[in-house]
A and B are shown apart, each in its own frame.
Chain A
Amino acid sequence: MRLCAIDLACHRGGRDVFAGLNFSIASGQALTVTGRNGAGKSSLLRSIIGLVRIAGGRLVLEGGDPELTIAEQAHYLGHQDALKPALSVAENLRFWAAFLGAKTVDTHACLDAVGLADLADLPAAYLSAGQRRRLSIARLGAVKRPIWLLDEPASTLDVSAQQQLAELMRTHLDASGLILAATHGPIGLADAQELRLDDIAPVGVVDEERDGRSESSIPVSAAAIGRATHTSAAPSQPDGDQVRS
């Protein structure tokens, strides 16, 4: 399986967040997206799962399930934890597991993997920020999906919880999953490729007159996008690939 972005562009609130973005990750690979605040890390992740409209370029998934969209094969761990304080820890996990399509789920094992097994019956309202984050991460283990899109996954985690997360990600990569993580610091994946959004030169204001999607309107194209770009040669598109554009 391989996820490719070709010449991807994104506008939000009348300005270019990024443009001319290319990357490609294959099964078993991880890509960390770095950059200053507002560089478009979150927008990139959200555009992959269709929560932000893509202004230009394409997303291609090779070797995935042709019946499903990219979003339907992905886990998205956003800034918020998607937890209900009134439900217990186990209820929260069981709901997402069932909603995301797991037939059965071993709640105890999934909670144990993030160190929350002892708190299974507590209301999620009683959890600290780090514990909430870990509960949110537990759903990645509960339902198997090949693509993980993680937005600042380690931001509220302490050292041992970061190690647990790294372990989960390592297991996922070994099972030929792929990971795209927006992050400020290292997240414990030594061999991850890095995509620096800061390198994609100055963002300009979109000229309302022009069609934002045409090549020429993109202020500066992807000249240097870290190490990940060398794989960005536009892939051929056999039948069954999915394209979002």
Chain B
Amino acid sequence: MNPLGALLVRDMRLSIRVGGGALMGVLFFLVVVTLVPFAVGPDLALLKKIGPAILWLAALLASLLALDRLFATDHEDGSLDLLLMSRTPLELVVAVKGVAHWLTTGLPLIVAAPLIGLLLNLDPLAEGTLALTLLVGTPALTFIGLIGAAIAVALRRGGLLLAIIVLPLTVPVLIFGVAAANAAIVGPVPFGTPFTILCALTLASLVIGPFAAAAALRQEME
């Protein structure tokens, strides 16, 4: 197997075996969504209206889950040294770790989102649109998160710092993700405009994330 394939398989294996990675993310997602009706009241019409925003917010928080350990565990057990001195460019190594994290944390959220959407009384069109915007938008969340994870790699309380660093950076993704979902459901803005911007944000973060994270790792480790 080639180096990057081996890394992808290893990281996915680890996140499935250790503490049930995918289960944790979906469970967190479900719990956050469940809390909202307790806070705003069980008004189904209102929940339907703010549903896409709730699901996006919950997905944002859930996809940051465990991200702070992405490089930290490799740092603590010495694996990161070997990853850094590898023949494979560090940017690709970082990107592959991001992909593995998204596949085990982000993808289950998208699968679970329509089911959880039922709790918020979303109709099928809304469910589909929402899943589509999450599919396009969550990779951006993971890859922006990579930067924070790399900066917080050697810190003991990295989790809190990661959230503080990363959450402001994810604001544009949240804005256009929710805007696209709402545009398709209630209008009057056409769906295409915010959705195209969301795609652009994701593509940009797929490039910027690994480069910034790799640079941060190199600085941290020296």
Chain A residues, Cβ within 8 Å of B123? none
Stretch at the interface among A82-90, A193-201, A217-225: A82-90
Residues 31-81 (chain A) with a chain B CB within 8 angstroms: 46, 49-53, 68, 71-72, 74, 76, 78-81
How far apart are the CA atoms of A142 and B82 in the complex, in Å?
15
How far apart are the CA atoms of A78 and B81 in the complex, in Å?
8
Chain B residues, Cβ within 8 Å of A78? 78, 81
How far apart are the CA atoms of A141 and B98 in the complex, in Å?
30
Interface size class of B (residues with CB under 8 A): 20 to 34
Q: Known interface pairs A84-B10, A87-B10. Does A51 touch B85 (Cβ–Cβ under 8 Å)?
A: yes
How far apart are the CA atoms of A3 and B122 in the complex, in Å?
67
Q: Known interface pairs A52-B222, A100-B3. Does A71 touch B85 (Cβ–Cβ under 8 Å)?
A: yes
- The chain A residue sitting closest to B88, CB to CB, is A99
List the count of A-B residue pairs having beta carbons below 8 Å apart.
Answer: 73
Return the contact of B2 from the options A68, A86, A91, A98 (Cβ within 8 A).
Answer: A98
- The chain B residue sitting closest to A139, CB to CB, is B82
B86 on interface, CB distance cutoff 8 Å? yes
Contact between chains at B5 and A98 (CB < 8 Å): yes
How far apart are the CA atoms of A83 and B5 in the complex, in Å?
18
Interface size on A, residues (CB 8 A): 28
Contact between chains at B78 and A87 (CB < 8 Å): no
- The chain B residue sitting closest to A46, CB to CB, is B81
Return the contact of A51 from the options B2, B79, B84 (Cβ within 8 A).
Answer: B84
Return the contact of A76 from the options B14, B76, B77, B82 (Cβ within 8 A).
Answer: B82
- The chain A residue sitting closest to B77, CB to CB, is A80
Q: Which residues of B contact A (CB under 8 A)?
A: 1-3, 5-7, 9-10, 13-14, 17-18, 76-79, 81-88, 221-222
Q: Which residues of A contact B (CB under 8 A)?
A: 46, 49-53, 68, 71-72, 74, 76, 78-84, 86-87, 91, 94-96, 98-101
Question: 5 A–B contact pairs at CB < 8 A?
Answer: A81-B78, A91-B13, A96-B82, A99-B83, A101-B3
Q: Give the 4 A-B residue pairs with the shortest CB-CB distance, closest first.
A: A80-B78, A98-B6, A71-B85, A82-B78
